[in-house]
Structure 1
Amino acid sequence: MINEHETIDVYIGADVGKSNHHAVALNKAGKKLLDKALPQDETKLKSLIKSLSKHGRLLFVADQPATIGALPVAVAHAAGIQVAYLPGLAMRRIADLHPGEAKSDPRDAYIIADAARTMPHTLRTVEVPEEQVAELSMLCGFDDDHAKQSTATSNRIRGLLTQIHPALERVIGPHLDHVAMAELLAKYPSPAALRRAGEARIGALLRKHAPRAWKGWAHEITAALAAQTVVVSGTEAAGIVLPELARMLAQSRSARATVLKRVEELVTDHPLHLMLDSMPGVGIRTEARILTEVTGKDFATAGHLASYAGLAPVTWRSGTSIRGDHSSRKGNKVLKRALFLSAFASLKCKDQVSRAYYDRKRAEGKKHNQAVIALARRRCNVLFAMLRDGSIYEAPQALAA
């Protein structure tokens, strides 16, 4: 973007909104060519671009290139003009350089346009993602939402069981990730209902979903029920809430399974699948997140990729009082989480390189999370080289051989 900055004649800053946007257009000298509100409408956006095209080459800059800003970005791309976005944190810092403290759409749009005109290094290029990646991004976001919902629902169930019957929670709680326990609580949601059902019926229900573990679980549940005879206050209300929570949990997991099936199809059909799949600790969901967050972006070095992911250490220096390197709190949190979990998963794979590096960091005195982050940073180098060269993963010992 910086290299082509001199060829731009008009800078359009757009403060996007759900139903309306506000656009400000500036020429090279900073003169306002446009300052108006625009509806979230394709025809109006095309008309804006057409009216400004007579002034020369355009650059369209938005503060949110996705979600509510997706339509303006798509219209600008379709019109063949350059598109960029100004990150929110950079925009807020730049806003402090402008007089006034008001927070309004016209002011924000002007700040975006002026930043594009005078500080091109603050901009980020926006590329139209390929259809596969765009679909993966939407599906992964849906999957993330359901993962959070499943965790919250599971914790809520465990909390209620702990309140009314701790012994029962110690048996059911650790296995709530299994569909059998959700089905059990949906049908027999209270200790009283489980006692009336008896071990035989409990076992029959569990057997449908857990053919190997059903007998042991049924016996443990019956023993737990016998360990508590008093009825705790709130047990009756819990009997109403628990089946609803169990059904919510089952529904969330069913939705995730459906989405995962489609994600797997998209990932396996992608040209980078064989390359990413060869890396230890990289599964379908991690592959999907690497594709949505990395592909289409240009990284000059492995350090650039690590910095983008928030895995590069940040040096703090202030005289003699503050010294040291710390983990970054910035970066792409979605990618950082995916690479962190991938590094953790690689410790259980046959690849001994990751385990050896992790053990070395632990021996240096680093805590578990610090060692895994260091491993994830090291794996960024490998990932960058694989994407750059188009090669699959090869363990160092295999290369030596």
Structure 2
Amino acid sequence: MLECAWAGVDIGKEHHHAVVIDTDGNRLLSRRVHNDETALLDLIDKITTLGDQVDWAVDIVTGESALLLTLLAAHHQRVFYISGTQVNRAADGYRGAGRTDAKDAAIIADQVRIRRDLSPMRIDDELIVELRMLVARRRDLAGDRVRLVNRLHQQLLSISPALERALDLTNKGPLVLLTGYQTPDALRRAGVAEVEQWLRLQKVKGAGALAVRAVTAATAQHTTLPGQRLAAELVADMAKGVITLDEQLKYIDKLIEGRFRRHHTAEILLSMSGIGPLMGATFLAATGGDMTVFDSPNHLAGYGGVAPAPRDSGRISGNLHRPRRYHRGLHHMFYTSALISIRFHEQSRIFYDRKRSEGKHHNQAVLALARRRVNVLWALLREGRTYAPAPPDHAATAA
């Protein structure tokens, strides 16, 4: 038995391909295996006998690899993650032009053998896994809502540009209105009083003002555009779809908040201005809430895309820019929470204003504040304490 061996697994939906190499990069095993428990257990038993210490690496950490990763954790195996992008870039340095699952698995194994900048993966607990699924689901629903509202705007333009301008489709009231009235003709026939009464029955806030605005817009157009009847049906259907998505988002938000508040770091995260249950859940989903994974605040800031990376060559030489690779969800959380804190936290506002006075534009000043807040958040989580505002004479400290 060898002292060390390295196993690379090219993850697939139905099958994985595993390659094991020794210290010199020689292949000890190459096997295609079904993505089911019996076959994976047999693979793990076979590979663990090849070396006293086996380091595993995978190129996907989502659903396709969930069973394998869980089994490896149960067998106390150390696993590393190498992204598909990293594998593709590394492939240029290996002999042969063809790309197969076996070659990719061999590249993954060789990369984990020679690289020293990789950290072992952490198998998250049930709560973190659930938060990650809920945050991802909410992101999908929010994206669906944005796309559907945009299509609704376009469809309403084909009926009445004036009505489209008059209605704010980000609010529930106009959406409810469009489930009952979609055309200028229908609004004019009904009149303000009837539309207002109907909206009140639907429990719409500000029914009177909305009815006046809609009927006024309807009186600005007496021309019937081609396809109006079908367009009206589509508008009503889309409006109902947006309302349904809003209800789903509210339900998901309740699930997220319930699970977030059960996490032991919830009170620490909530003590930071600008961080509520959704932002906190996004942070936990991205990091697992374990700061021991990050060597320093710089490491966490780089992962979140708020630590500038130097580019000493290229078109913009010598400047600092956002890293090319970072966690976009965590970046959004850092940036948005910093933006919110400027409105509600005096020290954050002072820090932001100082950066603006130094010539930074808005985005740069917010990113500088976000970077400063990462230091505070990292320290709070490492020390297990909530945030306490600094005295007034320490206004430069932002949180």
TM-score scaled to structure 1, two decimals?
0.91
User: What's the counterpart of residue 65 of structure 2?
Assistant: 69
The one-character-per-residue Cα deviations of 1:150-186 (angstroms, maximum 9, x if unpaired) are: 11111221222234312212221x2x23222222212
The one-character-per-residue Cα deviations of 1:280-320 (angstroms, maximum 9, x if unpaired) are: 11111100011111223511111111111111112232499
User: What's the counterpart of residue 113 of structure 2?
Assistant: 117
Matched, 1:357 2:351: yes
Matched, 1:262 2:258: no
User: What's the counterpart of residue 93 of structure 2?
Assistant: 97
Matched, 1:218 2:211: yes
The one-character-per-residue Cα deviations of 1:244-267 (angstroms, maximum 9, x if unpaired) are: 211211111111111111111011
The one-character-per-residue Cα deviations of 1:337-395 (angstroms, maximum 9, x if unpaired) are: 1111111111221x111111112222222222222112111111111111111121122
Going from structure 1 to structure 2, the CA distance change for 1:205 and 1:59 (only over 3 Å counts) comes to: farther
User: What's the counterpart of residue 154 of structure 1?
Assistant: 149
Q: Deviation of residue 87 (structure 1)?
A: 2.3
User: What's the counterpart of residue 75 of structure 2?
Assistant: 79
Going from structure 1 to structure 2, the CA distance change for 1:137 and 1:209 (only over 3 Å counts) comes to: farther
* Conserved 8 A contact 2:18-2:31: yes
Q: Deviation of residue 326 (structure 1)?
A: 2.2
Provide the C-alpha distance between the structure 2 equivalents of 1:120 and 1:67, rounded to a whole number of angstroms: 27
Provide the C-alpha distance between the structure 2 equivalents of 1:327 and 1:400, rounded to a whole number of angstroms: 28
Going from structure 1 to structure 2, the CA distance change for 1:310 and 1:400 (only over 3 Å counts) comes to: closer
Matched, 1:21 2:11: no
**1:232 match: secondary structure:** coil
User: What's the counterpart of residue 252 of structure 1?
Assistant: 245
Q: Counterpart of 1:368 in structure 2: which amino acid?
A: H
Provide the C-alpha distance between the structure 2 equivalents of 1:323 and 1:248, rounded to a whole number of angstroms: 49
Provide the C-alpha distance between the structure 2 equivalents of 1:315 and 1:53, rounded to a whole number of angstroms: 41
User: What's the counterpart of residue 378 of structure 1?
Assistant: 372
Q: Counterpart of 1:177 in structure 2: which amino acid?
A: T
Provide the C-alpha distance between the structure 1 equivalents of 2:337 and 2:103, rounded to a whole number of angstroms: 43
User: What's the counterpart of residue 28 of structure 2?
Assistant: 33
What is the aligned-residue identity percentage? Answer: 33
* Conserved 8 A contact 2:9-2:108: yes
Out of 276, 281, 305, which is 2:269 matched to?
276
Q: Deviation of residue 19 (structure 1)?
A: 1.0
Q: Deviation of residue 14 (structure 1)?
A: 0.4
Out of 205, 209, 212, which is 2:198 matched to?
205
User: What's the counterpart of residue 286 of structure 1?
Assistant: 279
Provide the C-alpha distance between the structure 2 equivalents of 1:80 and 1:319, rounded to a whole number of angstroms: 44
Going from structure 1 to structure 2, the CA distance change for 1:208 and 1:389 (only over 3 Å counts) comes to: farther
Provide the C-alpha distance between the structure 1 equivalents of 2:204 and 2:239, rounded to a whole number of angstroms: 20
* Conserved 8 A contact 1:316-1:322: yes
Q: Counterpart of 1:41 in structure 2: which amino acid?
A: D
* Conserved 8 A contact 1:65-1:126: no
User: What's the counterpart of residue 130 of structure 1?
Assistant: 125
User: What's the counterpart of residue 297 of structure 2?
Assistant: 302
TM-score scaled to structure 2, two decimals?
0.92
The one-character-per-residue Cα deviations of 1:98-157 (angstroms, maximum 9, x if unpaired) are: 012222111000101111222243x33211111111001001100000101111111221
Q: Counterpart of 1:22 in structure 2: which amino acid?
A: H
Number of matched pairs: 391
Trace 1:39-54 onto structure 2 (pairs within 5 A).
39-54=34-49
**1:23 match: secondary structure:** strand
User: What's the counterpart of residue 5 of structure 2?
Assistant: 10
Provide the C-alpha distance between the structure 2 equivalents of 1:365 and 1:355, rounded to a whole number of angstroms: 16
User: What's the counterpart of residue 391 of structure 1?
Assistant: 385
Provide the C-alpha distance between the structure 2 equivalents of 1:79 and 1:321, rounded to a whole number of angstroms: 49
Q: Counterpart of 1:355 in structure 2: which amino acid?
A: R
The one-character-per-residue Cα deviations of 1:178-229 (angstroms, maximum 9, x if unpaired) are: 2222222122233333333332332123225555411111111111111111
Q: Deviation of residue 323 (structure 1)?
A: 2.8
Provide the C-alpha distance between the structure 2 equivalents of 1:344 and 1:334, rounded to a whole number of angstroms: 15
Trace 1:191-202 onto structure 2 (pairs within 5 A).
191-202=184-195
* Conserved 8 A contact 1:86-1:124: no
Going from structure 1 to structure 2, the CA distance change for 1:329 and 1:190 (only over 3 Å counts) comes to: farther
Provide the C-alpha distance between the structure 2 equivalents of 1:392 and 1:238, rounded to a whole number of angstroms: 54
- Tell me the C-alpha RMSD between the 2 structures: 2.1
Higher alpha-carbon deviation: 298-307 or 319-328: 319-328
Q: Deviation of residue 89 (structure 1)?
A: 2.9
**2:24 match: secondary structure:** coil
Matched, 1:107 2:103: yes
* Conserved 8 A contact 1:386-1:393: yes
Provide the C-alpha distance between the structure 1 equivalents of 2:314 and 2:179, rounded to a whole number of angstroms: 61
Provide the C-alpha distance between the structure 1 equivalents of 2:192 and 2:108, rounded to a whole number of angstroms: 67
